[in-house]
Structure 1
Amino acid sequence: METLFTRLGFSFFLLYFLVSCDLSLSFSPVDNYLVNCGALLDATVDNRRFVSDSSDSSHSHLSSPQLFSLCAGTLLPGLPPIYHTARVFKAPSKYVFDVKDPGTHMLRLHFHRFSSPQLNLADSKFHVLVNGLVALTNFSGGGSVGPKVIEYLLWFNSEKVEITFLPAEKSKFAFVSAIEVISAPKDLILETAQSVNGDKVENLNKQAFEVMYRVTIGGPKVTPFNDSLWRTWLPDDDYFKSKEGSNRVYFSGRIKYQEGGASREVGPDNVYNSARLIESKNASIPNVNLSWEFPVIEGYQYLVRLHFCDIASISLGLLFFNVYVNGHLAYKDLDPSAVTNYLLASPFFVDLVVDADHSGIVNVTVGPSNKSMAYAVDAILNGVEIMKISNWMGSFDGTLPAESVLKCLPRKRRVGFLLPLIALVCLLLSLSAIIRRRNEKVESVLWSKLPMEVHEISPKQGKQQLSSKV
C-alpha cells in the first residue's frame, strides 16, 4: 500500500511538473488587449478575458463623441458572449492602445451583424484605419450568418495604436463586436521570402499583412482553444481540387519542434499531426499532383506560407517532392530530412511571395520529383496560410491612402454643416435688405447721379450737394 501511494505521489508530482513546464513555455504576449465592445461586463472566451469598453471601465481605450452600445435581440445557441453586443458609432471614433513591445502585432477585429429592435447592423457601411493604414473600406460587417473575424499582422513602431472607425458615405453608423491587439512572437514573420515570379527576394520587415486563409490539410478544424496564438485553422475540403491519388494521414505521436524549424506559435500540433500525401504502393511512382486553389484579389502581392512535417515516412531520406505556386516551380526535390537535420515528425515551413494575376487564384501544388522513390511517400503537405500584403498606397482595400479616406468624410460632413449656415446668412441678408428699403421710404430722399468728372467726394461734400438740390 505504501508503495502504491508512493507511486501515486510521484505520478502527481510528475504531472504537476510537466504542466508547470508547459505553462512556463507557453506564449505570453507583452501587449495583450482583449476588448468586449459595447458590453457592460467582461466576458471569458477560450479561457481569455475580454474586458468591457464601457465608460465605467478603466480599460476602455475608447474615444468617441457619438457612440452607444447595442444588444442582440435573438442570440444564436452557443455563440460566444463577445458577439452578444456591439459598439456602434455615428461619427468618426477610435480606440487607442499603448504599445509596450514594438514590432509585429496581431490585430483581430470581430464583427457580428445581428439585428435588434433599435437597429439592424446589416445597414452599416464604414471604413477602418489603423495607424494610417487602410484596413477596410465600405465594409458592412461581414456575412449575414454568424460572426466574422478579420486578422492582420502589423508592424507597430510607435507608442500608440489607433484603430479608427469612420461611417461611410450614405451610411449612418459603424460598429465592432470585439478587438484583439496582441504582440506577435518574434519568429512569426521572417525577414525575407523568395518571390516565385522571379529570382528576387522580398523584404518582409515592417510589412503589413491581412490573413486571407489559414488551412489545415487533411485534418479537422483547429479552434483558438487548441492554438497558442488563439487562431482558427479551417479544413481544406473547400479548396482541395485533386480528387484522385491522395491519402489522408493522421499522426498520434509527438511533434518534435526544434530550434530553426517551426515553433508551436508558428503552427500548433493539431496542424502538423495531419496531412494529405501521395504514396507509392508499388514499383511505379504515381503520376499525380495534389492541388489547392484559393480565390484572391488581383493587384496585390500575397505571402504564401506552406507547412510541412513528415509524419508518414517509415525512414529518413525517402521523401523527395516538388512544390509549385501559380505554376512556378518554387522548390525542386524538396527533402524534409535535410531541412530538419534528419529528424522525422519535425515541422518546418517555407515562405513564398506571389503576385496575384488576372485569374484571381493562388494555386498551391505538390507532386513527385525525379528523385521520388517507389514504395514510399512521394509528396506531403500539412498546412497553408495565405496573407495579403498591403499595396504601395498603404491599403488592403482599394487605392485610396488613409489621408484621402479621412478627408472624404469631414468634407461631406462640413457640407452638411455649411448648408444651414448659408441659409441663415441668406436670411439675415434678406432681412437687412428689407429694413434698408423701409428706411429709404421713410427718409424720401431725392438723389441725382454725380457728375462723371467728380472722382472723389467726401461724405460731408456729398451731404451738402444733396441739401442744395432739395
Structure 2
Amino acid sequence: MKSINSQSFDLQNQLFPFFLLSFPIILAVRVSGDSSPPYIPVENITIDCGSPNDNTALDGRSWLSDKSSKVFSLVESQNNKSVSSAAPQQPHSSIGQFPFVTARISKSEFTYIFPLTSGPKFVRLYFYPASYPSFDPWKAYFSVRAGGFITFLKDFNASLHAQGEETFVKEFCVNVEEGQRLNLTFIPSTGISDSYAFINGIEIVSIPDSLYYQPADAQGVRFLGQGNVYNIGNDTALELIYRINVGGRQISPAEDTGMFRFWSDDNIFLTEGAPSELPVNVSINLTFGKKPSFSAPKVVYTTARTMGTNKTINEHYKLTWEYPVDSGFNYFVRLHFCEFQIEVTKQGDRVFEIFVANLTAENMADVINWAGGRGIPTYRDYVVGIGRKGNEKKQNLSIALHPAPEWRTKYSDAILNGVEIFKLSSNGNLAGPNPDPEPITTTVSTSSQSGKHQKKINKTTIIGVLVGASGFIILSILCFFIIKRRKRSVKDLASTDGGSFWGGQFSDANKSTKSNNSANLPSDICRYFSLPEIKVATNNFDNVFIIGVGGFGNVYKGFINGGMTPVAIKRLSPESKQGALEFKTEIEMLSQLRYLHLVSLIGYCNDDNEMILVYDYMPHGTLRDHLYDTDNPNLPWKQRLEICIGAARGLHYLHSGAKQTIIHRDVKTTNILLDEKWVAKVSDFGLSKVGPTNMSKAYVSTVVKGSFGYLDPEYYRRQQLTEKSDVYSYGVVLCEVLCARPPISRLVADKSQINLAMWSQKCYRNGNLYQMIDPFLRGKIAPGCLKKYVEVAISCLHDEGIQRPSMSDVVWGLEFALQLQKSAEEEMKLGGAENEIDAEDKHETLIFKEYDLGDESCEGFISSFGITPSDERSSASKDSEVIISGAVFSELHNPQGCRKMARSSDKLKKPCLGFALAILVLLSLSKNVSEAAMINGSSPSSSNANIAEYIGEEELFMESGAAGLNARLLDQPPYLSYDTLERPPAVPGPKYAVALNEMKNRGCQPYTRCRLGGGA
C-alpha cells in the first residue's frame, strides 16, 4: 500500500535516512498477525442531562434522557428539586449538539446512581458553561464526588476552566467493586451565595481490567526520582490530563478501540521543531505482541516524531514537549512506541534517553528490544510527582528525548508515537484549583446588580443607539463617495490577492445579526460574540479602556465571562486601510492555529457593520513598548534574547509547522506581544498569506503590503512573496532589539542612519557594532554572543531572499547566542573580578567576517517616500521622534524597486556603481585564491595562509547526502551547521566558494573536519 501524498522512493539508490528534524512520519500500514478486534465495553452509557427525550449524536451514539430510565436513577431533594434548562444557543462543538443542548441544574445536592458490573470505568462529564435562564454562569460553583469517597471536582467553576472554549469534557477513571453502585453526586458550594451545580452530559464506559489498573501482586510502575515503585490499585482514581497522538492528527472517539477516547495532536506542546509529512512508499505488517490491540488506535502506532538527520545537532538538543499540570499531585505517564522505519531492524539501531519532568526515565531506550521486533507496538509507564512551587497553581511536566552516546546506538535519533498523562488521586482527591480570575475593574453592571441600575443602563443604551443611528446616516453619505472612489482599487485587490471584498463586513450564516451580507466563514472555528456582549466588555467602547492603536483600529482591554476574564478587543476603525478581507483572513488563519508563541484568537463579532476581534490579553503589551519611547524599564539583554527566540519560534511554526505554509507579511515589534510571563507571541495576521501550494513554484504573486522599514526589498521589487520576506522583516526586528531605535528615524543627524537595516549593515561591514548598541546594554553583552547575534541579524537582511537563512536556522543561531551569553555570565561569576563582559570594556577587538550585502542602491528606497533627516540627535536618545514604521502599505501598484528610485537622485548612482565594482573585485579574488589552493593541494603554503586569513580560520567539513556533496559551515561548539545546496549558509559570500573548492581539493571525507590554515 502507498501512503497519501507518497512519492517513488528508492532506498537502495539514495542515502537519505528517514529521520527528519522533529518530523512526524506517516506510514501506510497493513495490519496483520494476531490483531484482535476493538474492545467491546460491557457498559456504554450516555446520558443527555436535562433533555426530555432520547437523542442521537452525529457519530451515531444514542444519548438517553435523564427524565426516567431503567439504566440509572436520579435522587434529589424533594423541597428543592433540580430543573431542566435549555441552552440559550447551540454550541459549536466538534462532537455535535448533544449532550450540550440542555442541562440539569440545581441549587441543592443531586445524585445519579448507576448499577454497574465490577471493574474499572471511564466517567466523562460534559460541560457547556452558558447563561441558562435565571442562572448566572459565574454562580456555578460546585463539587462532584464519586461513590462518596472520591472527589472529582471541588468548588469547580466551568466558566473558568473553559479557557475560551465553549464546551469541554472532564474524563476520570474509577474502579467499581463487586456489588457496589457508582454514585455521582453534584453539590453546590456552600461558601458562595446562590451557587448552583449543573451538568450537560454523563458518559460511563467499561474498560479492560489491565488497561491502567494493576493487580495487587503486580510489580508496580517506576516512581521516578523516588527509587521505588507506585502501585495503581483499585482504590486509586485517575483524571485524564492529556492524550496525544504524537506526530499525527487528532483521533475522534469513534476511531478509538471501542472506549471512545479522544486523541489530540502534539503541535502546541512542542517547545521546538517543525511538524511536516515525510512522503514515503513503505508497507509494514503491524503486529500486536505483548501489548493488547486495544491499548491505542492503530494510527497512533503508525505515526511518530523523530529528531532529524543531523547527528551533530541531535547530540546538542532534546526533542521536548511541555504539558501544564496542577501542582501538588502525582502523575501517571504512558509513552507509546512502535518502530516502523526500514533502517531500524534490530536492537541497538536506535537507542535513546527519555526524561520525564527533568528526571531520567530511561538511559538506554530501545523500542526493538522492548517490543520484540519491528512493527510491534509497545508502551512504557512511569509515575512522577509534581510538587508545589510557591503559589504556582500549574507547572510544566516535560517529556524530552535525546540520543544515547554514540557508542551505544547506530543512529543518533529518538522516536515517540503517543502520550497519555493522568493525574493520580491523593487521599481520595483529584480536584485541582480553579484558574485565577482577573479582578473586576470595570463599572459595567452585571445580571446580579439591581433592577434600577439595569434600567439606567438600558436607557443609556437606547440614547446611544439613537445618537449612533443619526451619525450612521451622515457616515453613510460620506462612505458612498469614498467607496465609489476606491471601487477600482478594491476590485484589483480582490482579484490579485486571492480574496473577495464584501463591502466592509460579512456575517455568520448560523448567527442572527443585523447585517444583510454574508460570507463563507465557518461558524464553528471560534467563539462568536454579540455586539451587546462586546459593549459590556468595553463599557461601550470607553476610551479609558484603549490600550493601543494599530493599522486595524483601536485595541481595548475588556472583560468577558461576567467580568472575570481579561481580553484584548480589536475594533476596525472606519479610517483604516484594512477591512473585510483582513478581518476574514485573521479569523480563518488564527482560529486554526494553536501554538505557544502565537497569540490566541478567542472570537469575533460581526454585528451592525462592526468588525471586532477578541484575543487573549497580553499584560506586558508589545515588544516595542519596552524598547524605546517608553517609560517602561529597560529589558536586560538575556530577556531580550529569550523574547527574540520565542518570536522566531512562532514564525518558524507558521512557515513549517502549520498544515499549510503561512507567510505573516507584517512582522514587526508592535506585532510581537508579551504575556504575563514575558513569553513572546506573534500577532496580527490580517495581511497573512498562505504560501505556495505548488511544489514547482516557490513564491506567491501578490500586491505589496507591509510596514515601512520592515518591508523586504526583493518582495517590493518583484511582487513575489516568500517565507524569506518574513525573515527579512525579522532581521529588522533583531536590529531594533539590539539598537533600541525604530526601523525608520527621521530625526537623526547622519542620513545613513535613517534606515536601521542599512545602518546596521554598514556598522557590520565596518566592524563598528558598538555605535549601534543600545547604551543601556553596553558592557552587558558577551563578545561571542554579540558576534553570533549580529551574524544572524545581518544574514536575515540579505538583499536576495535565497541567501537568507530559514527561520529554523534563525532559531538555532539565537539559541546558540543565548548559550554563549549564559556561559560568559557563568565565567564572570566564577572570576568574580569583572562587572562587565563587553569586549569594548575589555579592550578586545572583534573582527567580523565580510558579508555580501547585496544591492546598496536600495538606500534610495526610503528617500523616495520623502523621508529626509532633520534635527541632529543621537540615535540612542529616548526623546520623542516621528516613527513611520507602523504605517501599513495598502497597495503599491507596479513598484519599480530601487532602480527607479535611484533615478530620482544622482547621489544614489555612486553607491550602486561602487558596490558593483567591489563585487567584481571579490569574485576575482575568490577565483584566484581558489585556483592557488587547488594547485598547492593540502600542503601548507602561502596561498593556504591567505585562505586561512580570508576565511577567518573557520572549521568546515563535508558530508554525503541525497542531494550529493553537501558542505556545512561550522562555528563554535556545538558546531551549528547550515545546508548550502538547498539553502545557503547563515554567512554566505565569496569566501564560501573558496572554502568549498579548497575542501574538494583536499578530498575531505564525510564528517571529517578540515582546518584550512594547515593540513587536512
Shift of 1:293: 1.0
> What per-residue deviation string (whole Å, max 9, x for no partner) do you get for residues 157-185 of structure 1?
15200000001122431111111112111
- Of the candidates 358, 371, 380, which is equivalent to residue 415 of structure 2? 380
Indicate conservation of the 8 Å contact 2:241/2:421, yes or no.
Answer: yes
Tell me the equivalent position of 1:36. Answer: 48
Shift of 1:92: 0.8
More deviation in 174-183 or 109-118? 109-118
- Provide the C-alpha distance between the structure 2 equivalents of 1:267 and 1:67, rounded to a whole number of angstroms: 39
Runs of 5+ in structure 1 lacking a partner?
1-17, 400-470
CA change 1:149–1:161 in 2 (3 A) is same
- Of the candidates 197, 200, 203, which is equivalent to residue 225 of structure 2? 197
CA change 1:285–1:313 in 2 (3 A) is farther
Shift of 1:51: 0.9
Indicate conservation of the 8 Å contact 2:71/2:114, yes or no.
Answer: no
> What per-residue deviation string (whole Å, max 9, x for no partner) do you get for residues 367-411 of structure 1?
10025545x46101111111111112x111269xxxxxxxxxxxx
- Provide the C-alpha distance between the structure 1 equivalents of 2:150 and 2:287, rounded to a whole number of angstroms: 35
Trace 1:268-417 onto structure 2 (pairs within 5 A). Answer: 268-281=297-310, 286-317=315-346, 318-342=349-373, 344-358=374-388, 360-370=395-405, 371=407, 373=409, 376=411, 378-392=413-427, 394-397=428-431
Alignment pair present for 1:75 and 2:95: no
Shift of 1:347: 1.3
Alignment pair present for 1:115 and 2:127: no
Task: Please tell me the residue identity of whatever aligns with 2:87.
Answer: A
Tell me the equivalent position of 2:270. Answer: 240
CA change 1:235–1:227 in 2 (3 A) is same
Indicate conservation of the 8 Å contact 2:314/2:412, yes or no.
Answer: no
- Provide the C-alpha distance between the structure 2 equivalents of 1:41 and 1:377, rounded to a whole number of angstroms: 59
Trace 1:31-70 onto structure 2 (pairs within 5 A). Answer: 31-45=43-57, 46-55=59-68, 57-65=69-77, 66-70=81-85
Alignment pair present for 1:168 and 2:202: no
Trace 1:126-137 onto structure 2 (pairs within 5 A). Answer: 126-131=142-147, 132-137=149-154
RMSD: 2.6
Indicate conservation of the 8 Å contact 1:248/1:277, yes or no.
Answer: no
> What per-residue deviation string (whole Å, max 9, x for no partner) do you get for residues 424-458 of structure 1?
xxxxxxxxxxxxxxxxxxxxxxxxxxxxxxxxxxx
Tell me the equivalent position of 1:7. Answer: none
Shift of 1:219: 1.4
Alignment pair present for 1:223 and 2:252: yes
Task: Please tell me the residue identity of whatever aligns with 1:195.
Answer: F
> What per-residue deviation string (whole Å, max 9, x for no partner) do you get for residues 84-138 of structure 1?
11111221110000121x1211111111112244434443111101011111011
Task: Please tell me the residue identity of whatever aligns with 1:54.
Answer: K
> What per-residue deviation string (whole Å, max 9, x for no partner) do you get for residues 289-346 of structure 1?
101111122221111111111133424122111111122211122111111212x222
Task: Please tell me the residue identity of whatever aligns with 1:310.
Answer: E
- Of the candidates 119, 124, 145, which is equivalent to residue 140 of structure 2? 124
SS at match of 2:273: coil
CA change 1:108–1:249 in 2 (3 A) is farther
The number of residues matched between the two structures is: 372
Indicate conservation of the 8 Å contact 1:241/1:291, yes or no.
Answer: yes
> What per-residue deviation string (whole Å, max 9, x for no partner) do you get for residues 238-265 of structure 1?
2111337x8765887567242312x342
Task: Please tell me the residue identity of whatever aligns with 1:384.
Answer: V
Which structure exhibits the higher relative contact order, with contacts defined as CA atoms closer than 8 Å and separated by 6 or more residues?
A: 1
Tell me the equivalent position of 1:458. Answer: none
Normalized per residue, which structure has more strand?
A: 1
- Identity, % of aligned pairs? 26
Indicate conservation of the 8 Å contact 2:85/2:103, yes or no.
Answer: yes
Indicate conservation of the 8 Å contact 1:167/1:174, yes or no.
Answer: yes
Shift of 1:58: 3.6
SS at match of 2:339: coil
Task: Please tell me the residue identity of whatever aligns with 1:88.
Answer: I
Shift of 1:76: 3.0
- Provide the C-alpha distance between the structure 2 equivalents of 1:41 and 1:250, rounded to a whole number of angstroms: 49
Trace 1:448-463 onto structure 2 (pairs within 5 A). Answer: none
- Provide the C-alpha distance between the structure 1 equivalents of 2:279 and 2:420, rounded to a whole number of angstroms: 20
SS at match of 1:82: coil
- Provide the C-alpha distance between the structure 1 equivalents of 2:338 and 2:315, rounded to a whole number of angstroms: 21
- Provide the C-alpha distance between the structure 2 equivalents of 1:242 and 1:274, rounded to a whole number of angstroms: 18
Runs of 5+ in structure 2 lacking a partner?
1-30, 215-219, 390-394, 434-1016
> What per-residue deviation string (whole Å, max 9, x for no partner) do you get for residues 211-243 of structure 1?
111112121211112112211111112211133
Indicate conservation of the 8 Å contact 1:86/1:177, yes or no.
Answer: yes
- Provide the C-alpha distance between the structure 2 equivalents of 1:328 and 1:77, rounded to a whole number of angstroms: 40
SS at match of 2:269: coil
Indicate conservation of the 8 Å contact 2:63/2:98, yes or no.
Answer: no
CA change 1:42–1:291 in 2 (3 A) is same
Normalized per residue, which structure has more helix?
A: 2
SS at match of 1:151: strand
- Of the candidates 287, 290, 306, which is equivalent to residue 260 of structure 1? 290
Task: Please tell me the residue identity of whatever aligns with 2:120.
Answer: T
CA change 1:172–1:327 in 2 (3 A) is closer
Indicate conservation of the 8 Å contact 1:247/1:279, yes or no.
Answer: no
Shift of 1:281: 5.0
CA change 1:247–1:335 in 2 (3 A) is farther
CA change 1:145–1:285 in 2 (3 A) is closer
Indicate conservation of the 8 Å contact 2:99/2:201, yes or no.
Answer: yes
- Provide the C-alpha distance between the structure 1 equivalents of 2:408 and 2:309, rounded to a whole number of angstroms: 9
Indicate conservation of the 8 Å contact 2:307/2:314, yes or no.
Answer: no
Tell me the equivalent position of 1:182. Answer: 205
Alignment pair present for 1:104 and 2:120: yes
Tell me the equivalent position of 1:90. Answer: 107
More deviation in 332-341 or 346-355? 332-341
CA change 1:27–1:314 in 2 (3 A) is same
- Provide the C-alpha distance between the structure 2 equivalents of 1:75 and 1:264, rounded to a whole number of angstroms: 37
Indicate conservation of the 8 Å contact 2:85/2:133, yes or no.
Answer: no
- Provide the C-alpha distance between the structure 1 equivalents of 2:47 and 2:409, rounded to a whole number of angstroms: 53
Task: Please tell me the residue identity of whatever aligns with 1:175.
Answer: F
TM-score in terms of structure 1 length: 0.73
Trace 1:141-156 onto structure 2 (pairs within 5 A). Answer: 141=158, 142-143=161-162, 145-156=165-176
Tell me the equivalent position of 2:727. Answer: none
